[in-house]
Structure 1
Amino acid sequence: MLYFKNEKEKKLYEGIMKKADADYDDDVKMMREWRGENGYHSQLVNQYVHSTNASLGYAYELMNCGREGDVERAVQILYKVVPLQDTNPDNDTYGIWSYFVEESLDEMAPPDWNWADFCGKRLIQIYVEFGDSLPCDLKQMIREAIIHACNSIIRRNMGPHYTNISIMGTLVTLAAGENLREAYLVKYAKERLKKLYEFNIGHGCYQEYNSPSYTWVVIDDIASMVCYIKDEECLKLFADLNDLAWRCIAEHYHFKTRQWAGPHARFYAMLEDDQLLMRIQRSLGYQINLVDLEKEGLASQLPLGFFSFDSVCPDQFKKYFVTPNSDADIDAVYVRSEEREKNEIAVCRQAEAYTLGSFYKSTFWNQRRNHLSYFGTQEQPVYCSMKCLHDGYDYSSGLIVTAQKGMRTVSVIGFGTNGGDTHCNLDMVKDATIQASDVRIRFEIGGAVDTVDLEQTDDRTFLMRMEDALLRVQFPYARYGEEPVHFQITEENGHANETGGHKEVHDIKCIDVVLYSGEKKVHCFTDMAECCCAVSFEIVPNSGQFHAEAEAIVCDGRLRISQDGLAAEAPAAACRLEDFVQNARAYRDGREYQDIYL
């Protein structure tokens, strides 16, 4: 189905389809795309590939569009892609597809079981809406593929902590069960829906907390799939889950910059583009005008299925998108554990001119924005994000604990000995040892950097000046084994951030703590007596005054930083991730976070 609210949307859709048509490879009967570096699951890099999921999505849009030759092309794609599914129940990969036709499931590193959910969703849409117009053998082939995908979803039985997949898999199995008249799928989906509903509504938020990349997946999946579901009780539960996602977006929407305030559990970019604004204004029925529908290049920023569902912002959240932010704290315990130290806490401060968000304890995984602020305007937004880098790429075994009050934080950064390198669990660091020519802690400032004046006022103090904000960063303590640590400003033009296959290019200015830079060598973290850093961060208006300088000390193997009622502490030496979680602490006004956020 297609949903257009005005004639200009139809023009945008034509632009989206034109780009998709150009990416179609008629020789292979699949969509062609460039596979760069730093993606997950596939070992293919820097080459053109043909995507299974993207091809199924294109086939659905061809059926939607219905131009001359579109249905015939969609049928050719389906005959090519559907048989690529593993249909052997004896295999671990039963019910899923590989990412690309150029790489089998056995060759992936590792296969991605999410493809049962993603590809299954596409096939249900095609089957329910257009099945009667397909050749009989193809329709039966798709039906069987949907069953295989659903069986894979059931076998995996993903819990509610994996937000987007738990919801997508529930929608897929429920829609399949109702429309294919498979009672066992309906029974499974209803039980799963009840559990994920109680889990997420009980927490008051999703565990993939405040994720720009995946909160929209939840909203899009619900909007695009509920039309295939008739059970009224289930529809009510999905409506509440949709409200929960919209509340997260509304509360974190920063009106002045038109950005999505942090911290972000998962985000593929640093700055939002016009897609966010397009989504919001469309969901509000164009009651507000955030981006011109005739803006050049807008169609290229919108995903292929953008007009294939109708997402509507619930009335109670519309006010957040039409009025400037007043000072507000948006805090959440988004993971609750019987062991208090394992509770995961997010803190966000919204003000009219800027915003600051941080996680209590976190890693520096590439998709995670654990300490993030936004400044500037809609036309000239600026971000400032803290990173831990191994040879220029985000190091997942970097660890951080942060205490935040208002627009001020203190943090301790350390290193894990049993974590991952570029990913938390796909490429594990062995023996707490890496090969590296560069290791550094960085505050990366990007976006409209020509509006930013960055100055190093002494060896460990940096000031960032903007039109309506002044920011100070200080490093009272930093050690990295026996290496001499130094502090500097770094500027890069055309810097590329690559996250999960998404590439974003910005000019950046950086505040760097260079822990090591030189010839590539072995870094064994367990050989270092200390590898840690303490940092204070504060934003004030240009006319404002900073708090007193932070102090840091190591005592009994723990690095502690404190500043006017804020404190954070963590092991000074590298340790196991679970030991960091157990021993890291953050304090506000003398109270530990776990006492504040009971």
Structure 2
Amino acid sequence: APGEPDLEDMAAQCPADLEDFFVALDQPRTLVQTVQKRSPISLISTTYVTPELGLGTVNHQDLWNQRRNIVAFWGNYKAPSYCRVRLMYDGYDLSTGALWTVQDKNRVLGAVTFATDGGGKHLSLEKLENGTFEAEELSLRFEFGGAAASVELPSPGSLDQPVHIDFGDLSVGIQVPFARFDNSDLRWETGRADVERVGEGSFLDVTIHRGDSRVFVLPEIQEAVVVFGLQVGGDNMIAPATATQQGDLVAAQWGDLSFAVPIRPNTYRAMREHVTGIRKS
């Protein structure tokens, strides 16, 4: 058609050393890549793929709407499913959240902290003045879509209780060993919501606040962090993770996965300089 490129003349070929990635997957595969070199922490992606599932993370990033910092896929072309992790305020992603992760195969140990110099719905076009925003809802969301959206999600009575969700032949486990936010009553909640370009999805929230409109002034908050463990697949058993406060940091461990992140909101750079255990290069 007029205006379309002549595809036959395009010298676009798959490099020979990458062909096997698209031909067969006869055993689990882990791929770690440095996406962007930066100081003091580079942006590094980790992807774990098996015939049954795929799980990908980035080591550290803000939580702007266009990020896909933690994504899992499973199922088949007839009934695909996904899970992703988001920080929500009033039905939209809060950019000023900061995500930290370490991943080993199908397990992710993660934490969300809060930056005092971040943005609201956009990380730069809508900068928060003095780290302040107003919302009726604030929650860390584990979103399920595709075929997974039809599964009824459990809602334990306490954050101390891990969550086990069965999706046919695959199970997902989530636990929250540490969660504090300015003396708020953090809790599990479930629900359903429209998902962009997908339709309706279901969610399991670590709810920080839901109710009357509240003003959050991050520089004045002493504690604001949620630590979680996410396991996709496996034997339906999730080993317990631990997290304890050590001065101005929260030290978390889950088997051979561990890190320490700031408990108090601060600038992105200050948090990056104080965090330990996150892959930096």
TM-score under structure 1 length normalisation: 0.44
What's the offset of the Cα at 1:450? 5.3
- Which residue of the partner structure matches residue 58 of structure 2? 359
- Which residue of the partner structure matches residue 548 of structure 1? 239
Q: Letter of the aligned partner of 1:462 in structure 2? A: V
Deviations 1:78-135 (A, max 9, x none): xxxxxxxxxxxxxxxxxxxxxxxxxxxxxxxxxxxxxxxxxxxxxxxxxxxxxxxxxx
State whether residues 81 and 147 of structure 2, in contact with CA within 8 Å, keep that contact through their aligned partners in structure 1.
Answer: yes
Q: Which one of 103, 108, 112 corresponds to residue 413 of structure 1?
A: 112
2:276 aligned with 1:575: no
Distance of 1:346 and 1:410 partners within structure 2: 14
State whether residues 449 and 507 of structure 1, in contact with CA within 8 Å, keep that contact through their aligned partners in structure 2.
Answer: no
- Which residue of the partner structure matches residue 536 of structure 1? 229
Distance of 2:232 and 2:52 partners within structure 1: 11
Deviations 1:266-324 (A, max 9, x none): xxxxxxxxxxxxxxxxxxxxxxxxxxxxxxxxxxxxxxxxx798574426244433434
- Which residue of the partner structure matches residue 482 of structure 1? 183
Distance 1:582 1:450, change over 3 A: closer
Where 1:514 maps in the other structure, the secondary structure is strand
- Which residue of the partner structure matches residue 21 of structure 2? 320
TM-score under structure 2 length normalisation: 0.90
What's the offset of the Cα at 1:577? 0.8
Deviations 1:320-374 (A, max 9, x none): 334346311110122224x4x3222111111110011111111111111111101
- Which residue of the partner structure matches residue 200 of structure 2? 507
- Which residue of the partner structure matches residue 103 of structure 2? 404
2:262 aligned with 1:561: no
Q: Which one of 168, 173, 180 corresponds to residue 467 of structure 1?
A: 168
- Which residue of the partner structure matches residue 593 of structure 1? 279
Distance of 1:567 and 1:469 partners within structure 2: 25
Q: Percent identity?
A: 20
Where 1:367 maps in the other structure, the secondary structure is coil
Distance of 2:221 and 2:203 partners within structure 1: 26
Distance of 1:475 and 1:335 partners within structure 2: 30
Where 2:102 maps in the other structure, the secondary structure is strand
Distance of 1:326 and 1:452 partners within structure 2: 29
What's the offset of the Cα at 1:453? 4.8
What's the offset of the Cα at 1:379? 1.3
Unaligned stretches of 5+ residues in structure 1: 3-62, 66-223, 228-306, 498-503, 587-591
State whether residues 412 and 560 of structure 1, in contact with CA within 8 Å, keep that contact through their aligned partners in structure 2.
Answer: no
- Which residue of the partner structure matches residue 184 of structure 1? none
Distance 1:506 1:325, change over 3 A: farther
- Which residue of the partner structure matches residue 60 of structure 1? none
- Which residue of the partner structure matches residue 131 of structure 2? 432
State whether residues 71 and 82 of structure 2, in contact with CA within 8 Å, keep that contact through their aligned partners in structure 1.
Answer: yes
State whether residues 353 and 468 of structure 1, in contact with CA within 8 Å, keep that contact through their aligned partners in structure 2.
Answer: no
Where 1:369 maps in the other structure, the secondary structure is coil
Distance of 1:312 and 1:426 partners within structure 2: 36
Correspondences of 1:126-145 after superposition (within 5 Å): none
Structure with the greater alpha carbon radius of gyration = 1
- Which residue of the partner structure matches residue 213 of structure 2? 520
Deviations 1:155-195 (A, max 9, x none): xxxxxxxxxxxxxxxxxxxxxxxxxxxxxxxxxxxxxxxxx
Q: Tell me: higher relative CO, structure 1 or 2? Use CA pairs within 8 A at least 6 residues apart.
A: 2
Where 1:593 maps in the other structure, the secondary structure is coil
- Which residue of the partner structure matches residue 188 of structure 1? none
Where 2:269 maps in the other structure, the secondary structure is helix
- Which residue of the partner structure matches residue 85 of structure 1? none
Q: Which has the higher strand share?
A: 2
Q: Letter of the aligned partner of 2:146 in structure 1? A: G
Where 2:66 maps in the other structure, the secondary structure is coil
Distance of 1:390 and 1:455 partners within structure 2: 22
Distance of 2:101 and 2:73 partners within structure 1: 18
Q: Letter of the aligned partner of 2:214 in structure 1? A: K
Unaligned stretches of 5+ residues in structure 2: none
State whether residues 401 and 585 of structure 1, in contact with CA within 8 Å, keep that contact through their aligned partners in structure 2.
Answer: no
What's the offset of the Cα at 1:548? 2.2
Where 2:67 maps in the other structure, the secondary structure is coil
Q: Letter of the aligned partner of 2:242 in structure 1? A: E
Deviations 1:25-56 (A, max 9, x none): xxxxxxxxxxxxxxxxxxxxxxxxxxxxxxxx
Q: Which has the higher helix share?
A: 1
State whether residues 462 and 511 of structure 1, in contact with CA within 8 Å, keep that contact through their aligned partners in structure 2.
Answer: no
What's the offset of the Cα at 1:575? 0.6
Distance 1:450 1:401, change over 3 A: closer
Distance 1:484 1:321, change over 3 A: same
Distance of 2:8 and 2:117 partners within structure 1: 44
What's the offset of the Cα at 1:545? 5.2
Distance 1:64 1:538, change over 3 A: closer
Distance 1:546 1:396, change over 3 A: same
Q: Letter of the aligned partner of 1:320 in structure 2? A: F
Where 1:438 maps in the other structure, the secondary structure is strand
2:85 aligned with 1:386: yes
Correspondences of 1:157-556 after superposition (within 5 Å): 310=10, 312-314=12-14, 316=16, 317-324=18-25, 326-337=27-38, 339=39, 341-449=40-148, 452-457=151-156, 459-460=158-159, 461-492=162-193, 495-497=194-196, 504-541=197-234, 544=235, 546-556=237-247
